[in-house]
Structure 1
Amino acid sequence: MPTITSYPGVYVEEIPSNARTITTVTTSVTAFVGHTKWGPLNTPVRITSFADFEQRFGGLTARSAVGYAVHQFFANGGRIAVVVRVSRSGSGEAACVRLHSDDDREDCPVLAVHAKAPGVWGNGLHVAVDHDTADPEETFTLRVADSRGGAHEVFTGLSLDPEHGRYAETVVNAGSALIRAEVLDEGRPAASGTVSKEFGDELPDLDVELTARIGEVERDFTLHDPDHDGPAPTTLVELALLLERKLRALPDAPGKRGFADAEVVAFGKRLQIVAGSTDPCDEVRFSGECAGDLGLDETVNPPVFPLEGGEDGDPPGPRDLIGDPAAKTGIQALRDVDDVNLLALPELADHESTEDVLAVISAADRLCRERRIFQLVDAPSSWGGVEAARAGISAFDPVRSDHAGLYFPHLQLPDPLTGRIRAFPPCGAVAGVIARTDTERGVWKAPAGTEAKVVGVRSLSVPLSDRENGLLNPLGVNCLRAFPVVGPLVWGARTLAGSDSADSEWKYLPVRRLALHVEESLRRGLQWAVFEPNDDQLWQQIRLNAAGFLHDLFRRGAFQGGTPREAYFVKCDSDTTSEADIARGVVNVVVGIAPVKPAEFVVVTIQQMTGQPEV
């Protein structure tokens, strides 16, 4: 705002700079789409380590090529991945448990708790219910635990009344990563464990003998011994603490913690006693002459309610991988995900139908063009040699895209599950190599050569010689080679459109990926210009911003030329934006770059010098 002058002197004010920084976008975030052991279906999940993958998707399984690809991605230098779990339509079941009412109605389920996604993983979930809330007569607390992954969730003050502010379906389904709630009837689910009768304002005589049974173990004890326990409890909370202390002092069966970790909670005018184990058979039962008087045998439930019936889904077919753009399933789930740069579909390598594989690659290519993603295509596992590869590559002619690169052959390395050597599609390891190269050198450096080592690989399924490599490279097949001393390497950097016969300007993978990087960075970095006055001042600011971004890439070695003028240009003025464009609300920016192309062939000429005259 303008400075208001009121006294003679020097006034200082700050004005914002006209230059806006264009931030470079990511280059090597890799999306893996396919079957996993468990996890949310058709939901993109961002992970930063294989430990994250194990926690969210269950780790390695022999039925999932995705798990191994993710493992190899992080082993070779990958940093961020996005995983989309896909299963065959109609297959798999979500584990479930139905919780019954706490009133006198028999066999009346009021709340169904489902695992968030299908799979046997859901059989490891269990829920516990208590009524220890601010309104213990109307609401309840639901506790969820995953016995395999160790995750825990707690939802307090829930109600089965749709008009209540803490309606169970709304609260749980919006906040849980493990379960989905379905209200079946009105009422309230019964609490876990043993729930006593309602106590009056005055507690009964507690100097009584009781027998507590958890599972198959029975133990006798005195509830309150005046000679050892001091004054008798006068409140329900004090009684809960006393009973909990007494139960925990009782000896357990070997290896059990039913008594040792027992919990007793007072809510309203009742007690809830829960065994310290998660075995549904460990119900807490009380007996003795005074058990009925104390109401400790009124309602007996398991300490937890386990979810059951989960079944794994079958690996996805081609239609499942392609997905539905409207429902955002399969690869279409990536449409709303920012910062995905590479796409890997490792399950395609073992698919028998070439027609189905090409259909998936074609659908993925449409997505890649829309979202500026580069697809890593695995050579089919049926390519057992160079001649098979030369014969089979012609089938990929319909999907020869500059947004994809094909890699051959497969990798031979130990299976972490069995320790045996087996073949794996290379896309996961190649994505890791690309990520490592981007970090160390930049997106303009070809992810190939002696620096592109593939970590953990024992050998390649098809060893290639120089001559054999020379037969495949002109066809747009990126070969993996094993050299003495250095070991397995990525030894190709062409797009699928990079065959010599195609003569494409996007022949080389680093050129294509650099262009995608520049396009996306400029698209995001110039958002500020939308709705600004379309005049000379705006054009000048756009030129300044775009040129600053490109000059930084030039200094880092992304472009050819010894001067900025030789490396790039930005044009945005009255020549690019006419009066008609201005009338239509359009500003045109023309950007040109001279990318550095890889030295694919290094030719050394040697001449023998003989008969030189002596000076």
Structure 2
Amino acid sequence: MPEYLAPGVYVEEVSFRAKSIEGVPTSTTGMAGMARFGPVQYAEFDGPSTCKPRLITSYTEFERVYGGLAPMQLSDGSERVAYLAHAARAFFNNGGRRLYVSRVYQAPAGMTTFNACGQLTAVTDAGNATWRARWPGEDGNVLVETRVTRSRNLGFNWPADPNDVLNKAAWGIQVRTARAGAVVEVLPAGPLADNAPLTNTLYVIEVDNNGRQTFIDSSGNPAVVADGTPLALVELRVIVRGPGGRIDSYEQLGAHSAQSRHIGKVLERDDPEDENAMVWLDLSVLDTAHRHHPAALMKGLQAAAKRLAGGVDGAVPAPDALRGNEADVDHAERRATGLEALGELEDIAIVAMPDSGVSGLPADPLFSQLCVDHLVAHAEKYRYRIAVADARPSMSITDIREFRGRFDSKYAALYHPWIEVLDPMFPAVPGVPPRKLLLPPSGFVCGIYARSDIERGVHKAPANEVVRGLTQFEININKARQDVLNPEGVNCLRFFEGRGSRVWGARTMSSDPEWKYVNVRRLFIYVEHSIEKATQWAVFEPNQERLWANIRRMVEDFLLVLWRDGALVGAKPEEAYFVRCDRSTMTQNDLDNGRMICQVGIAPSRPAEFVIFRVGQWTADAQG
């Protein structure tokens, strides 16, 4: 309790109510897989440090960060569909709102990730400067144009002033608004075209403690500039043209590290001004000790070629690479990769791996099995998430049953078949059959999970929901086929005349009848995760009746809201849940060892999977 040592009036804030539990988000999704561009951990740890999975809130944002839908050109000469990009597009089209993406990149044999990034070297008198793509991939072969912008004549002389103790009038010509490190150019007599090549008459400004400017020439020595010489301030403008018509522009850039908008700071490797910048400027071999190096850098960048080269899309990662590695606790630069990178994000509730269905051409059955194994193990390891698994394309009913039989987990659900869409990279042309693609269902289903959670709640089974953005399913599953697949835990996607294409199953891949349904598993995840996050304040509190009563009231208030929302079964709250936290749940040994045990029981609402109407004849009594 607070101390009262001196006489006075003391006002204290206290709480007379139980703390509340805020439900955790359930629609946030995480995906790991191959992308055309974007943040990825460099295998040799010499790449940008900002390589964590990004939170994406729209497909437009996904395109800017991770590239578009164009197929990837693999190092073995084959072409691969950008399944992750298509899955992200399907996720947002079907109602998803928050998506974390963990990019996985496999450099070609004999090449490092660093060398798989596009690059372009500009030769200067003070050493070389190299434009480098921040991330590996063919999309990194961008067009970089460095332009110069010139001001009007800014040269002037200080007027004579008898009160000026510095005698600035004797300084000679100066340049308005110029700071240390700025580059100025002697303007020619005639007109100068926009972005005309820099002349040889360039000076770098140095400023002493009194504010006097000195002009450094190309030899690195102070130069005498005659009064009346027209001097223009020179700055850089960098225009980066990427795929899909993307254009990034960076204005008012300087070439000296002392300037606030130094080109090496604005376009640096780890923390650029634009976190989604496609390139960075490597100045590691530039001779910054040369006093004229800013002017030399400007001339070299302006005269350099424009197209980066050397970026490649790499190879299909092995299942272990898609699973990834945990972060190295002893080396901060070695961050988690693949699925393990998603494990560091607590708010993810749904995980998928759209690349798991196809390893190449033709499909490798073992590849898909290992990928789903890793996905299921990830969901079980981190507990508070469910895995949406894909089978391989073109699987017969026997194949899909055999595939499903290899797994048993209450934290995963399998959906079948694959989904056919119109290829958005080939717009429809009259008289030409449209090109179509087969995509794994996980992207669509994850969006439906999120949509169902937002509109109805996590307790509603994500089934009997319309699948958006498709032409048809790969195969037509009828009732006879589903009669075989549904009891085995294969969630079918079906077309119904007059009702569209729908998800027609809500079962997990578990053999335990208690965890048969997806919504039951996710409801318990939601309750457990919410309670865990909201009760952290109770750790190290005095373990006695007051704490137990607070915990009971807090959990009961939370469950009461769930019951009112229809998540729990029971005509009364007492039938829907119970919360016990008292001496009946704890022994003296528990108290002596610092354990507070609270038992929570809930009656989840299971889906009406089989709606049965029994209709028979009935003869009413005759009325006289």
- TM-score, length-normalised on structure 1? 0.72
Question: Aligned partner of 1:603: which letter?
Answer: I
The equivalent of 2:45 in structure 1 is none
Give aligned-pair identity as a percent.
33
- Give the distance between the partners of 1:389 and 1:300, measured in 2 at CA: 61
Contact 1:102 1:188 in 2 (8 A): no
Which residue of the other structure, out of 364, 383, 396, is the alignment partner of 2:375? Answer: 364
Of the three residues 533, 552, 563, the one matched with 2:572 is: 563
* 1:97 paired residue number: 120
Counterpart in 2 of 1:314? 315
**Letter matched to residue 558 of structure 1:** A
After TM superposition, the structure 1 = structure 2 runs for residues 185-334 of structure 1, keeping only pairs within 5 Å, are 185=285, 187-188=287-288, 301-302=302-303, 306-326=307-327, 327-334=335-342
Matches within 5 A, 1:97-116: 97-103=120-126, 108-109=127-128, 111-116=129-134
The equivalent residue for 2:391 is 379
Aligned residues: 496
Report the Cα distance in structure 2 between the residues aligned to 1:457 and 1:398, rounded to whole angstroms.
29
Give the superposition deviation at 1:557. Answer: 0.7
d(CA) in 2 for partners of 1:126, 1:309? 14
User: In 2 relative to 1, CA 94–143 (structure 1 residues): closer, same or farther, beyond 3 Å?
Assistant: farther
1:350 matched to 2:358: yes
Q: Structure 1: give runs of 5+ residues left out of the alignment.
A: 192-197, 199-266, 275-282, 284-298
Mapped pair 1:415 → 2:423: yes
Residue of structure 2 in register with 1:74 after alignment: 92
Measure, in 1, the Cα distance between the counterparts of 2:148 and 2:290: 8
Distance 2:283 2:592 in 1: 57
**For residue 254 of structure 1, what is the aligned residue in structure 2?**
none
Distance in 1 (alpha carbons) for counterparts of 2:64 and 2:532: 35
Stretches of 4+ moved more than 6 A in 1? 1-7, 129-132, 138-143, 154-161
Aligned positions of 1:510-521 closer than 5 A = 510-521=519-530
CA distance in 1, matches of 2:569, 2:271: 52
CA positional deviation for 1:423 = 2.3
Greater displacement, 414-423 / 133-142 = 133-142
Partner of 1:367: helix, strand, or coil? helix
* CA distance, structure 2, for counterparts of residue 123 and residue 376 of structure 1: 34
Structure 2 residue 151 is the aligned partner of structure 1 residue 151: no
The answer to whether the 8 Å contact 1:101/1:190 transfers is no
**Cα distance in 2, alignment partners of residues 357 and 373 from structure 1:** 21
Deviation, structure 1 residue 375: 0.8
Give SS of 2:607's match. coil
CA distance in 1, matches of 2:179, 2:104: 39
Equivalent in the alignment of 1:544: 553
Equivalences for residues 361-510 of structure 1 within 5 A: 361-371=372-382, 372-383=384-395, 388-418=396-426, 419-449=434-464, 452-497=465-510, 502-510=511-519
Q: CA deviation at 1:392?
A: 3.6
Quick one: distance in 2 between partners of 1:189 and 1:50? 46
Q: Equivalent residue for 1:173?
A: 269
> 1:443 and 1:404 mapped to 2: Cα distance?
15
Q: Which moved more, 1:465-474 or 1:527-536?
A: 527-536
Task: For residue 334 of structure 1, report the CA deviation from its aligned partner.
Answer: 0.7
Code of the aligned partner of 1:335: G
- Which of the residues 126, 142, 159 maps onto 2:144? 126
Range 119-128 or range 457-466, more displaced: 119-128
Letter of the 1:66 counterpart: L
Deviations 1:525-570 (A, max 9, x none): 1111122222222222111212111111111111011111111122
1:46 CA drift (Å): 0.8
Q: Residues 352 and 387 of structure 2 are in contact (CA less than 8 Å); yes or no, is this contact kept in structure 1?
A: yes
Deviation of 1:115 after TM superposition, in Å, equals 1.4
**Contact 1:94/1:118 (8 A) holds in 2:** yes
Give the conservation status (yes or no) of the 8 Å contact 2:417–2:473: yes
Q: How many Å apart are 1:6 and its aligned residue? A: 6.7
1: CA distance between counterparts of 2:17 and 2:437?
58
Give yes or no for the alignment of 1:578 onto 2:587. yes
Shift of 1:443: 0.5
Question: In structure 2, what is the Cα distance between the partners aligned to 1:581 and 1:153?
Answer: 63
* Equivalent-residue separation in structure 1 for 2:105 and 2:581 (angstroms): 49
Comparing 502-511 and 574-583, the one that deviates more: 574-583
Letter of the 2:592 counterpart: A
Q: Give how far 1:601 is off.
A: 0.7
